[in-house]
Amino acid sequence: MIKILLKRPYFIYSFLALFLFLGIYGYNNINRKLFPDSNRPEVAVVIVEPGASAKEIASNIVVPVERELYTLDRIRRVYSTTIDEVTVIHAEFNYGKDIGTATTEVTQAVSKIRSDLPPDIREPQIYRIDSTLQPIVVISVSSKKLPLTDIREIAENDIKNTLLQVEGVANVDIFGGYKKEVMVIPDKKLLDKYNLSPAIIVATLSKHNRDFAIGSIENNFSKVLLKIKGKRDVLESIKNIPITSSIKLKDVAKVHFGHYENTALYYGNQNPAIALAVQRESDADVVKTIEKVEKTLKEMEKRYPSLHFEITDTQKDTIVQSTTNMFESLRDAIIMSTIVVFFFLASFRQVLVVLFTIPLVYASTVALMWITGIEFNVVTLTAIILALGLLLDDAVVVMENIERHYRELKKPIRRAVIEGTEEIMFSDLAGTITTMAALFPILFVGDYPQTIFRPLAGTLLLALAASYIISITAVPLLSMRLLAIKHPLILKFEEVFEKVISKLNNSFRMFFHNLVKAGIENRAVAGSYLLGLILLFVISVKGLMPIIGKELMPPMDTGIVKIGITVDPNLTIEDSKKVLEKTLKAIYSSGKVIRVSSSIGSEAGVLSIGSGGGIDSISITATYVNRFERKKTIWEIERELRRKIARIPNIEQFTVSDYGATALSSIKGNIDVTLYSSNFDSLEKAGKYVEKAIYSTKGITCVARSWNKNKKVYVLKVNEEKALSYGLTPEEIAFQLTQLLRGIKATSFPVINSKDFSIRVWMDKNSRDSVKTVENTLIQTKFGKIPLSTVAKVEAVYEPNVITREKLFYTLDIYGFREKAAITHIMDSFDKAFKKYETKIPPDVKLEQNGDVKQFTDSAKRMVRAIGFAVLLIFFVLVPMFNSVKAPLLIIVSIPLTLIGAAWSLLLFDYHISMPAMMGFVLLSGIIVNNAILLIDFALNGIKKGLTPKEAILESIKIRTRPVLMTAFATTAGMLPVAMGNAIGLERLAPLGAVAIGGLIVGTFLTLVFIPLLFIYTYKEAN
């Protein structure tokens, strides 16, 4: 085969040129993200019931909707968050459920029970919760000249429409309150004077301010619509609407443009603003779409010189910075690996072969990624860096064997290339296939590990295929050309380096040769080797592993801090605003800030931005300069922020955590204790004990709870008998008070090419600013007006500020965040702290751990199964290749030897056992067997040539030690940037590199000692 290929070099040239072109094209066109999508398919149902309390909504809406959603196929859990007037119910499905199908099923389920829900609810809104929901960029719009009501009007009617036309943009959510309305504020005294009521004004506006289609005037020649155009489009004409024959609206009410009570506010950096949250289409590239939005933004700045546009949150910077860092890490890996290869080979010409081969493999890999639809992100780019080691494993082994035939065996260059390649092809192929076999189970491991590591495994599989093909095509072809170079200066340099390096290589060879020989000739020595190995293995697995600890995913320093604050729920939105402004000062004084996006409260139907709670809830995303440009780590900044925020008054609780503190968005905190019950009092009692335990837990930096039972609610108790004597019912009283406290949307005000404004009849703030004022309010009866206190009294009660539910029970979550402590150590500490409270938990409360530890337990089981399948696949792949069971069993023995190095490297790098660490072991199991394959294959060939097992294996050590050590150290050098986390976001996968480095170095050393000894005992009868 090699002869045929070398006879047709232009076939190889054209093949490589094609993939080089496709690689360059693919590099420029592959989509870029920070991480692959890992959240489960989820659909949200938003239901609004005006005027309803959270408790009423939970009972009358959430419960029946939850029950219906639990009947859906592949549903994992249903949970909800309810505040006054609004509930958001989430249906989370298992991985593999198509999001489109899930959305359709949820829509049908809600429609099915629509008639059972309260009649006054607004039409339920259904939203897909996926990676496209999170805004790719948030733009704040503010002005020193225009009020926020006008800014919002421009944003809704023009700016949004412009952005929606940008290629790749799917939706733009507007957030920040200040929705413009026509406010009609009656004078209470004048109404009483003229014996009028707000209801009369509402009815008059509704009748007079509308268009009527009367019918058509039709004859033999035409058909023309006749209508009354009554809707006013000028504010002055609304003021002149007659209430009675002698009274106009302006006589008893103020009419002006304004806004309803804000349930949400937004700050862009430190300025009050209106936010535009831009969402992308599912197949749109994040970075390219943001760049197009930025270009459009510059055009809008010219169109609206009085408006100030700022980007307050963006995915672009982190992705671009991370991608740049990743390719810098790849550059460093190539440089370090090339130096290692030269150190072992002492040949500039062979190093040139490596330097030519590397871009060819990478171009081919990127081309295959583009063809198969794999995108660039931290995970796939990590795979590209790791692929360097696999490339070197293939290319260097082939090249070194060619060089041995050429230099040591003194064969002509063409013969050396052909025979050297053919001799090593089997070992090279076996190593490639075993590595592929190790990675293959990851493609189907399922659940969270599959979503994270499938792109990594897929990229590595493509790189392995490309690497092997190039190692047996391009490497021989290049070696034939480059090794034939006879320039005297190059030969002189190589001769000098060869003298020094050959001595080192010989010392390595003889070191392992003598160790193995001593073990073969002396059973006591071999026994001491084995005893030392067992002792080291037990210490590493039983002693080190518990100290190292476990976690789901390592934390990362992206420069982004997430802050959640809950203030006293009985305060106004203005008080929340003051808390926010003081927090912003703390943020800007804690480090160099690039941008800050801050929101108070939420708006119905807007899920992409906002706190998700009421006006007592504040959410802040602060972006500091990247970690390479500051001295403090993000965790040091967070500690400083906690100290400063703790001093701000009116804060009930707060959390400060780094971006990506939890691996999945559905995980509230690193530790999350969920309490389930049908009784709020039981939940509150149990919650206090759990909260005390978490506060005593080592490694937790901040603690919060999903709700507090401290929201004051006034209950109006109507004396029904007395009310009836005045001709009143509770419904009539509620309607009149609603007009006072909430106002009534009477009609609408037309706006050209836009949605109409509401016209709201609402009483003056002074008429509703206290309980006493409300009690003294005059309400209309059939006998005239009477004070409300005549037929009703007001009592205060305390309720949760938010109501949460899951698994058809009310819930209370007590959760906390960590910095870098292992989650298993945290859980051990919590279990000890919680023991003294365990017996105090009410019997009707069920407790469940829903933080990192739950997902880790499931994911770890899957990864262990994947490792088991990988080992079995490697074995079954090797059996037919060696036509034996003995050799594959010997090769498999090298895999557990890597555990020793993996454990010590995790300790050295200060990492925990995590999903990436386990993935590192999967990769390691595929790489380490290549060393054993090289040794055993050469020894078996020696036996076939007539050598004894002892002679064959000792000769194999002499010949194969250099390529084994060279590939091990070159691969290790290539993985160092990964282990060091030398890129934004790469910290997430750093343990993978650490495990691979430690396991490979120690495993290689042990393989060169113990595999030969086991080979002797296994093949001692061979002739």
Query: What is the arithmetic mean of pLDDT over 1004-1016?
Result: 90
Instruction: Give the separation between CA 297 and CA 598, rounded to whole angstroms.
Output: 21
| Residue 112 burial (10 A CB sphere; 0-12, 13-18, 19+) | exposed
Q: pLDDT of 13-59, one tens digit each?
A: 888 889 889 999 999 889 888 888 888 999 999 999 988 888 889 99
Question: How many alpha carbons lie under 13 Å from residue 391 in its C-beta half-sphere?
Answer: 33
The single-letter code of the amino acid at 277 is: A
Query: What is the arithmetic mean of pLDDT over 249-254?
Result: 89
Residue 162 carries which DSSP code? H
SS3 121: coil
Highest mean pLDDT: which of 119-133, 249-263, 706-720, 805-819? Answer: 805-819
- Residue 901: the pLDDT is 92
Two structure tokens written together for 593: 């800030």
Contact assessment for residue 810 and residue 680, using Cβ atoms and an 8 Å cutoff: yes
Two structure tokens written together for 685: 């009692």
Two structure tokens written together for 254: 């103020």
Question: In this model, does residue 982 exceed pLDDT 90?
Answer: no
- Residue 919: the pLDDT is 93
- Name the nearest CA neighbour of 555 among 483, 632, 500, 633: 633
- Residue 90: the pLDDT is 95
Query: What is the arithmetic mean of pLDDT over 592-614?
Result: 89
- Residue 6: the pLDDT is 67
Contact assessment for residue 89 and residue 66, using Cβ atoms and an 8 Å cutoff: yes
This model's pTM is above 0.85: yes
Nearest 5°: CA angle at 588, between 582 and 589?
90
Q: Which range among 275-279, 570-574, 755-759, 986-990 shows the weakest confidence by mean pLDDT?
A: 755-759
Q: pLDDT of 772-824, one tens digit each?
A: 888 888 888 888 888 888 888 988 888 888 999 999 999 999 999 999 999 99
Instruction: Give the separation between CA 597 and CA 594, rounded to whole angstroms.
Output: 11
- DSSP run (H or E) holding 782: none
Q: pLDDT of 174-200, one tens digit each?
A: 999 899 888 889 888 888 888 888 888
- Residue 672: the pLDDT is 94
Which residue do the tokens 């919650």 mark? Answer: 687
- Name the nearest CA neighbour of 35 among 442, 455, 378, 326: 378
Q: pLDDT of 610-647, one tens digit each?
A: 878 889 999 999 999 999 999 999 999 999 999 999 99
Query: What is the arithmetic mean of pLDDT over 485-496?
Result: 74
With a CB cutoff of 8 Å and minimum separation 6, the contacts of 487 are none
Question: In this model, does residue 71 exceed pLDDT 50?
Answer: yes
Instruction: Give the separation between CA 620 and CA 618, rounded to whole angstroms.
Output: 7
Domains of the chain: 1-30+346-485 (1.20.1640.10), 40-130 (3.30.70.1430), 188-251+712-799 (3.30.2090.10), 503-556+851-1022 (1.20.1640.10), 670-703+813-848 (no CATH)
Helix 198-208, helix 730-741: angle, nearest 10: 70
- Residue 826: the pLDDT is 95
Average pLDDT over the chain, rounded to an integer = 88
Q: Which range among 512-526, 575-589, 843-857 shows the weakest confidence by mean pLDDT?
A: 512-526
pLDDT band for position 5 (50/70/90)?
low
- DSSP run (H or E) holding 411: none
Q: pLDDT of 417-456, one tens digit each?
A: 787 887 778 777 887 888 899 999 999 998 999 999 999 9
Nearest 5°: CA angle at 328, between 293 and 981?
95
607: phi then psi, degrees, rounded to nearest 5? -105, -15
- Residue 313: the pLDDT is 94
For the chain, percent of residues with pLDDT exceeding 70? 99
Q: Measuring CA to CA, how many Å separate 854 from each of 91, 419, 824?
A: 19, 55, 11
- Residue 409: the pLDDT is 76
Question: In this model, does residue 932 exceed pLDDT 70?
Answer: yes
pLDDT band for position 744 (50/70/90)?
confident
Two structure tokens written together for 938: 């050469």
Two structure tokens written together for 852: 């990192």
- Residue 467: the pLDDT is 87
The single-letter code of the amino acid at 874 is: I
pLDDT band for position 1023 (50/70/90)?
very low
Question: How many alpha carbons lie under 13 Å from residue 333 in its C-beta half-sphere?
Answer: 32
SS3 508: helix
Q: pLDDT of 293-330, one tens digit each?
A: 999 999 999 999 999 999 999 999 999 999 899 988 88
Q: Measuring CA to CA, how many Å separate 485 from each of 120, 405, 489, 494, 497?
A: 87, 16, 11, 12, 17
Contact assessment for residue 702 and residue 807, using Cβ atoms and an 8 Å cutoff: no
Question: In this model, does residue 81 exceed pLDDT 70?
Answer: yes
For the chain, percent of residues with pLDDT exceeding 90? 46
Q: Give the distance, in angstroms, between the CA of residue 506 and the centroid of all CA atoms in the same chain.
A: 50
Instruction: Give the separation between CA 65 and CA 363, rounded to whole angstroms.
Output: 52
Helix/strand number for the chain, H first, E second: 33, 29
